[in-house]
Amino acid sequence: TQVFNFSSGPAVLPADVLKQAQQELCDWQGLGTSVMEISHRSKEFIHVAEEAEKDFRDLLNIPSNYKVLFCHGGGRGQFASIPLNLLGDKTTADYVDAGYWAASAVKEAKKYCVPHVIDAKITVDGLRAVKPMSEWQLSNNAAYLHYCPNETIDGIAIDETPAFASDVVVTADFSSTILSREIDVSRFGVIYAGAQKNIGPAGLTLVIVREDLLGKAHAACPSILDYSVLNENDSMFNTPPTFAWYLSGLVFKWLKKQGGVAAMEKVNQQKSELLYGVIDRSDFYRNDVAKSNRSRMNIPFQLADSALDKLFLEESFAAGLHALKGHRVVGGMRASIYNAMPLAGVQALTDFMVDFERRHG
Ligand code: PLP
């Protein structure tokens, strides 16, 4: 049976990329060694690093006044980096709360400032939704605004393009949605994403930061979290996660070959419509997020009869559909369908769901 992996992260990688990495593992570029075993300062690795940055910039159409940093520390590292780099002499920042990860960012920010929390969670016709951006009440003394455009656990997305006053520094946690759809980078001050969902292996975190925001880090900011230090050292102040960087570079090349982000966006729309369609057409399955805020990347769903959950998971696993168990705080099921999940994988899942309902409904 072909296996399709619906893990929320670390998550599926393109099969072609894994094959290439496997072929190159022990003898990379004829060097007789793997890319993991060479110096990050070697000309060979620097070439890998530069190519990866160039391709990432191309894919997201990143303007030249933005720096791209390849960091350690994951999404949670950035929960600290953002206040440590951007607060300056301010003591507060606006934090929009629309789910688990946005709330986790608030918790970390409290170590460094007094966050002004904008609770954007609403219910529309009994469905979970998010207040439109025009209703976010920003404070007038905030150093920046932070939000999470895709809540990996809640299955909630905020797809609106920020259009705030030009002096509002918008920062956003794109960990589970980066490169899945086109975005206008120029509307943001900082965009960050852990690599392990939509990019590559865990251990690498991508940060896109507008140049004029550099140089304001708190005196106590650890150097490895300081955007200016990372920038001045081409993201090699300390030894970077070289293998994750290399593999992410292969993923960027793969994405370009697929037609780039616009092409991925189309497929991602098709995949998510297919899955939501099956959920919505039946009383056996349910997703309780309003259509306007449904995530295309992480789709939680419940069985009407939760007594069948265990059987669903056993049978789906046996059918090659892995990692469908919902997050422990939500329960039920969750299918994460990042860029590397082919349409055929979602088709296999929906075929299974329809058949499971026929047999147990
Ligand atoms: N932000 C989002 C949206 C996430 O989905 C996750 C992890 O699942 C995190 C942050 C935390 O990332 P990390 O484990 O890399 O610190």
- For residue 201 and ligand 1, the question of a CB distance below 6 A is answered with no
Beta-bridge partner residues of 145: 94, 170
The pTM is what?
A: 0.98
Question: Do 71 and 248 contact (CB within 8 A), yes or no?
Answer: no
Beta strands in 240-337 (DSSP E): 285-286, 298-303, 321-322, 333-336
DSSP code per residue over 264-275: HHHHHHHHHHHH
Distance between CA atoms of residues 261 and 177, nearest Å: 11
pLDDT tens sequence across 257-294: 999 999 999 999 999 999 999 999 999 999 999 999 99
Q: State the distance from the centre of ligand 1 to the C-alpha of 159, rounded, in angstroms.
A: 18
Asked about 254 being catalytic, the answer comes back as: no
Question: Do 188 and 208 contact (CB within 8 A), yes or no?
Answer: yes
Nearest to 143 by CA among 225, 83, 73, 204: 83
pLDDT tens sequence across 62-77: 999 999 999 999 999 9
Does 177 show up as a binding residue in the annotation? no
Distance between CA atoms of residues 85 and 100, nearest Å: 23
Distance between CA atoms of residues 77 and 221, nearest Å: 12
Atom of ligand 1 nearest to the CA of 79: 10
The burial of 328, by beta-carbon neighbours within 10 Å (0-12 exposed, 13-18 middle, 19 or more buried), is given as exposed
- Predicted pLDDT at 174: 98
Question: Do 157 and 295 contact (CB within 8 A), yes or no?
Answer: yes
Does 187 show up as a binding residue in the annotation? no
Spell out the per-residue pLDDT of the chain, length 361, in tens: 899 999 999 999 999 999 999 999 999 999 999 999 999 999 999 999 999 999 999 999 999 999 999 999 999 999 999 999 999 999 999 999 999 999 999 999 999 999 999 999 999 999 999 999 999 999 999 999 999 999 999 999 999 999 999 999 999 999 999 999 999 999 999 999 999 999 999 999 999 999 999 999 999 999 999 999 999 999 999 999 999 999 999 999 999 999 999 999 999 999 999 999 999 999 999 999 999 999 999 999 999 999 999 999 999 999 999 999 999 988 999 999 999 999 999 999 999 999 999 999 8
- For residue 148 and ligand 1, the question of a CB distance below 6 A is answered with yes
Distance between CA atoms of residues 285 and 19, nearest Å: 36
Q: State the distance from the centre of ligand 1 to the C-alpha of 101, rounded, in angstroms.
A: 7
Asked about 197 being catalytic, the answer comes back as: yes
